[in-house]
């Protein structure tokens, strides 16, 4: 409360119709009148509503699992009590899933007094490739899931995790489901920033974050065979999880916390960090992870300090001109434990506000463009030939 009022109003306003919606509301030990309001809503609303009141579980996983166990619809959507739907959200998402025969549908999310993921909303697509799209960067639970999938594979939220349980759930649905759809031309979900700042995702210790990373990395390795596709998926836990722990916050951490984080990261880096993943990450971020992988918190601090000062590294080219390096601190300093490959530009990067890419990538891009032009010219010649003979 009071966010719940707007949330429930958005359910009643759904254009799909109240007769096609069943709501299971789990009151997880609230003390602000939420339970009483839910019961009042259930008694008067045209939306079939079942209210479950239970002792506080300490997190969202337990309540979501309770609701999922009671759900009877073809699809389920996990609606948080402080957020709300766009009026046509469920109608559009269900229609997309029915039409595309996909098991997960992402409806466009916008933030209200807070940020929200943006990179995956470039176009509405009935089916996307998880390896060549940005959907792995939105793993929150606020999506439409086909319930048959969840029941068939026994997918539930991990109640042992204190954070990141939704990312684990959604990634498994992506990988084991029959496809993912994206709706970008309509705002389906409003993600609300609470005035009190008490979002579960903003609470917790770094120990919980490492638990979440460990679980995600293990899941990806279990479900995706070794190779380029796995490397792409592994960017997610490294870029979203690991880098957050070894970013600017590391400079503010005590020496004890720094040592603890390095010890927690060591086994994960030993098992999951490899050259295939490293080469998919920009230089400044890769250097931080490389320093962690080699147990060099001193080198990490040097890199972070350099980045905080907004310094711009020199661009260094190999003798043959086929490799480009960004000379951040400790470039070609053998005592640092870093290698030249850690400084190499392997994906499009930024240097002093300008885009930079590796010579190999530039040649490949030009080759693709030339091939496309040649195909177009051949098509035009064939078209002209048909006109002449016709």
Catalytic sites, residue numbers: 166
Instruction: Report the distance separating Cα 328 and Cα 305, nearest Å.
Output: 11
Instruction: Report the distance separating Cα 245 and Cα 209, nearest Å.
Output: 8
Contact, 103 vs 178, CB < 8 A? yes
C-alpha distance from residue 220 to each of 124, 273, 372 (Å): 26, 13, 35
Contact, 15 vs 87, CB < 8 A? yes
Q: Which of 225, 326, 238, 224 has its CA nearest to residue 274?
A: 238
Contact, 25 vs 63, CB < 8 A? no
Q: Which residue has the tokens 């002792």?
A: 55
Instruction: Report the distance separating Cα 80 and Cα 314, nearest Å.
Output: 47
Secondary structure (DSSP) of 135-182: GGG---S-SEEEHHHHHHTT----TT-SS-HHHHHHHHHHHHSS-EEE
- Please report, to the nearest 10 degrees, the dihedral formed by the alpha carbons of residues 179, 185, 189, 194 taken in order: 130
**For 121-135, b where at least 16 C-beta lie within 10 A, e where not — what string?**
beeebbebebeebeb
User: What's CA 47's distance to the chain center, in Å?
Assistant: 32
Secondary structure (DSSP) of 58-86: SSSHHHHHHHHHH--SSEEE---TT-EE-
Tokens representing 172 are 């498994």
Instruction: Report the distance separating Cα 147 and Cα 142, nearest Å.
Output: 14
DSSP type of residue 233: H
How many helices (H) and strands (E) the chain has is answered by: 15, 12
Phi-psi region of 116 (alpha: psi -120 to 50; beta: other; left: phi over 0): beta
Instruction: Report the distance separating Cα 134 and Cα 122, nearest Å.
Output: 10
């Amino acid at each position: 409360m009071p966010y719940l009022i707007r949330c429930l109003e958005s359910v009643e306003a759904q254009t799909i119709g109240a007769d096609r919606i069943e709501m299971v509301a789990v009151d997880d030990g609230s003390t602000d009148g939420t339970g009483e309001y839910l019961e009042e809503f259930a008694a008067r609303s045209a939306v079939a509503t079942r209210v479950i009141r239970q002792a506080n579980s300490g997190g969202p996983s337990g309540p979501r699992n309770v609701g999922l166990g009671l759900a009877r619809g073809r699809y389920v959507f996990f609606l948080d009590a402080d957020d709300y739907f766009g009026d046509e959200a469920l109608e559009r998402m269900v229609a997309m899933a029915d039409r595309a025969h996909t098991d997960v549908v992402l409806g466009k999310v916008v933030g209200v007094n807070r940020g929200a993921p943006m990179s995956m909303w470039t176009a509405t697509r009935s089916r996307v490739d998880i390896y060549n799209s940005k959907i792995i960067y939105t793993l929150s639970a606020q999506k439409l899931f086909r319930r048959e999938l969840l029941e068939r594979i026994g997918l539930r939220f991990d109640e042992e995790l204190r954070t990141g349980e939704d990312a684990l759930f959604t990634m498994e649905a992506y990988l084991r489901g029959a496809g993912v759809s994206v709706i970008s031309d309509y705002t389906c979900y409003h993600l609300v920033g609470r005035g009190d700042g008490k979002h579960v995702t903003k609470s917790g210790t770094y120990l919980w974050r490492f638990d979440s990373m460990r679980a995600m990395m293990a899941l990806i390795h279990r479900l995706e065979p070794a190779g380029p596709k796995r490397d792409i998926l592994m960017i997610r836990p490294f870029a979203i999880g690991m880098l957050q722990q070894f970013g600017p916050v590391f400079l503010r951490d005590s020496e004890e916390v720094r040592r603890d984080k390095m010890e927690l990261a060591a086994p994960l880096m030993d098992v999951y960090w490899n050259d295939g993943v490293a080469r998919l990450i920009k230089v400044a971020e890769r250097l931080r992870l490389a320093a962690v992988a080699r147990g060099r918190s001193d080198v990490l601090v040097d890199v972070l300090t350099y980045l905080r000062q907004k310094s711009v590294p020199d661009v260094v080219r190999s003798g043959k001109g086929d490799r480009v390096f960004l000379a951040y601190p400790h470039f070609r300093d053998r005592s640092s434990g870093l290698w030249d490959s850690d400084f190499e530009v392997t994906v499009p990067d930024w240097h002093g506000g300008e885009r930079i890419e590796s010579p190999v990538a530039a040649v490949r891009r030009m080759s693709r463009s030339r091939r496309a032009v040649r195909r177009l010219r051949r098509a035009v010649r064939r078209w002209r030939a048909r006109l002449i003979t016709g």
